Structure 1
Amino acid sequence: MSTTETYTHETAPTQYIPVNGVQFAYRTFGKADGLPLIFLQHFTGTMDNWDPLVTNGLAETHRIVLFDNVGVGNTSGETPTTVAQMTRDAYDFIQALGFERVDVLGFSLGNFIAQQLILDHPTLVRRVILAGGAPVGQGADEFKFVTSNLGGKSPKDILLYLFFAATPSSQQQGEAFIQRLQSRVVDHDIPSTVQVFQAQYRAIVDWCNIPDPEFTRLAQITQPALVVQGSNDTMFPTSQSVLLFQHLPNAQLSLYPDSSHGSLFQHARLFAEQVRYFLQAED
């Protein structure tokens, strides 16, 4: 009989669980015991867009839970247009799996959902990793500018443009990342639709325009937080991750060299090692 420990990123089957009339698609693998590590995905990303070096690396010590939020990938329904509703949907999914306490890794849009999840349910999350994000009220102009230049680009070129720096070394690592995304050869997610793009775009811009000049929301997030960012993120500028570090009461910051928005994929092995160390530290 198969268990989560016998599966990997490449082989874990897509499972489904009904939640509020929605069929949530998810995959789980790694350690069967201990707190699960919930992955919250980036703008238009599905389960297939996670880097196997990251997920398999963290599965050595943790139970990994990947899922598609409402309307994304293989999960049914219509994608919400607010971070608040995406967060409610993620919470309901976590509850449906029976998890009373979890660790969370949020990347980009998932970073925003992770912050909101802790604010809404402060006892649910033990530790949080915030990659490639920003505080509420930051980053709208940069996000709109970067995404305005996607027209005419292939899916591969979009990933290289958005996630990797315009240096030969970073682009080379981007090519390697894209190759790793092909390692799962069966049971793929449905690619994101125009509706997903438009709804998540609106959710991100609205989040980035919510005023919070005193960073009062961040002050309420007391969980240990690991903030991870590239040295020159063009989507959500690196300085905004520094703001996360400065205003979260219990945060540490890791900035990776020669990298942009997808620094956690460019430096996948280092990222997985740092996250393992962070999650295994004593509270």
Structure 2
Amino acid sequence: MNTPVNPEIGRSIATGSITTNYHDVGSGEPVLLLHGSGPGVSAWANWRLPIQQLQGQFRLLAPDLAGFGYTQVPEGIQYSRQLWLEQMVAFLDALGLERVDVIGNSFGGSMALALAIHHPERVRRLILMGSVGVPFELTPGLDAVWGYEPSEDNMRAIMRIFAYDQKLVGDDLVRMRFEASRRPGVHEAYSSMFPAPRQRWVDAMAHSEADIRGIRQPTLMVHGRDDKVIPLSTSLTLQQWIDDSQLHIFGRCGHWTQIEHASAFCQLVANFLAAA
């Protein structure tokens, strides 16, 4: 009997002291996909629908950031924005990629901004979806997400915060994410990243207004109007601060734009990245 293949496990590559699990799918111009920070998340869990829809047009690179998914980290590692930034740069270097388009979701949006701010020559265009990266008051939704303790009921509650359409929160999804969140070492890593009080981690992932205003790459913000995790105000602020930017707001949409409005999101992405 064949062992089922776990789609979350892709290829692995050395990125400094970290061994990064990643997906390299499709062909065309390279696009780096940076996932969010929900419990049990991985690059595949976050980006599976866009990967399916966009792989005919782009080369999609989706790594598990340190502490998430199946990326392997050394014992005693201290998670920080600097660590994740160094991992991303090492990842691009290891693949021989000088410049990429970048799509960042939520926490991954802050990391996409970090790459554009500190290594602008590596970023061609920038897409930020429900992005962290500017100051905002910690929402009850984000506090619950970062404060998750493993149980099926708790995971169901978190998934319900993410989704506007509650029908998306089925038993299979809840069980899959719950099982992912309780693999050995996963929750220990997760709980060490954003311990209470959690406003300090919102602040730690924020960039200065001057740094964000210095971004010159064409930038697209995408946000769900009904997002209970990251407030719409963050994207409104980013749109004010980034000169060459545009914002698309989806109504009847929570924090899962790429899942709740997958086809429309992918069309937006394709059009924006194809623009001259």
1:222 aligns with 2:216: yes
Q: Which residue in the other structure is 1:146 paired with?
A: 144
- 1:214/1:149 CA distance change after superposition, 3 Å: closer
Question: Residue in 2 aligned with 1:247?
Answer: 241
Q: Identity over aligned residues, as a percent? A: 24
Per mean C-alpha deviation after superposition, the further-off stretch among 95-104 and 209-218 is 209-218
How far apart, CA to CA, are the structure 2 residues paired with 1:84 and 1:257? 34
Deviations 1:165-203 (A, max 9, x none): 2xxxx1124449949x89xxxxxxx68712332243259
**In the TM superposition, what is the alpha-carbon distance from 1:236 to its structure 2 partner?**
1.2
Matched, 1:201 2:194: yes
Superposed CA offset, 1:175-233 (max 9, x none): 49949x89xxxxxxx68712332243259854522598972121011111110110121
Counterpart for residue 34 of structure 2: 40
- Superposed, 1:89-108 pairs within 5 Å as 89-108=87-106
Structure 1 unaligned segments of length 5 or more: list them: 1-9, 183-189
Cα distance per residue 1:89-108 (max 9 Å; x no partner): 11111111110010111001
Call closer, same or farther: CA 1:214–1:46 in 2, change over 3 Å.
closer
1:140 counterpart SS class: coil
- Say if 2:161 and 2:228, in contact at 8 Å, map to a contact too: yes
The answer to whether residue 166 in structure 2 is matched with residue 171 in structure 1 is yes
Between the aligned partners of 2:231 and 2:185, the Cα distance in structure 1 is 25
Shift of 1:47: 2.4
* Deviation for aligned residue 1:53: 2.3
**Cα 1:15–1:198 shift into 2, 3 Å:** same
C-alpha RMSD of the superposition = 3.2
Q: Structure 1 residues 85, 100: CA separation in 2 closer, same or farther (over 3 Å shift)?
A: same
Q: Please give the per-residue CA displacement for 1:55-105, whole angstroms capped at 9, x wherever unaligned.
A: 111112100111112232221115643212211111111111110010111
Displacement of 1:117 in angstroms is: 0.8
Paired residue secondary structure (1:223): coil
Q: Which residue of 2 aligns with 1:129?
A: 127
Specify whether residues 11 and 22 from structure 1 end up closer, same or farther in structure 2 by C-alpha distance, changes over 3 A only: closer
- Give the Cα–Cα distance (whole angstroms) in 2 for the partners of residues 53 and 177 of structure 1: 16
Of 204-213 and 266-275, more deviation after overlay is shown by 204-213
The offset of 1:155, in angstroms, is 6.5
Residue 113 of structure 1, CA deviation: 0.4
Answer 1 or 2: higher relative contact order, Cα 8 Å, separation at least 6. Answer: 1
Q: Distance in 2 between matches of 1:262 and 1:277?
A: 20
Alignment of 1:77 with 2:73, yes or no, is: yes
Deviations 1:2-58 (A, max 9, x none): xxxxxxxx9797211122232211111111x32x11111110421231243211111
8 Å CA contact 2:135, 2:202 repeated in 1: yes
Q: Is the 8 A contact 2:194 2:201 kept in 1?
A: no
TM-score by length of 1: 0.80
Q: 1:30 to 1:230 in 2, by over 3 A?
A: same
Q: 1:172 corresponds to which letter in structure 2?
A: K
Amino acid at match of 1:278: F
Change (3 A) 1:220 1:77: same
Q: Deviations over 1:219-263 (max 9, x none)?
A: 011111110110121111111111111111111101111111112
Q: Supply the distance in 2 between the matched residues of 1:276 and 1:177 (Cα, whole angstroms).
A: 30
Count of matched residue pairs: 260
| 2:54 alignment partner in structure 1 | 58
Between stretches 209-218 and 110-119, larger displacement belongs to 209-218
CA distance in 2, matches of 1:47, 1:149: 21
Task: Quote the Cα distance in structure 1 between the aligned partners of 2:206 and 2:169.
Answer: 34
Detail structure 1 runs of 4+ shifted over 6 Å in the superposition.
10-13, 211-214
Write the distance in 1 (CA, Å) between the matches of 2:146 and 2:91: 32
TM-score (structure 2 length as normaliser): 0.82
**Unaligned 5+ runs, structure 2:** 1-5, 178-182
Give secondary structure in 1 for the equivalent of 2:120: coil
Question: In the alignment, what sits opposite 2:180?
Answer: none
Residues 35 and 47 in structure 2, CA contact (< 8 A), matched pair in contact too: no
Question: How much does 1:123 deviate?
Answer: 0.7
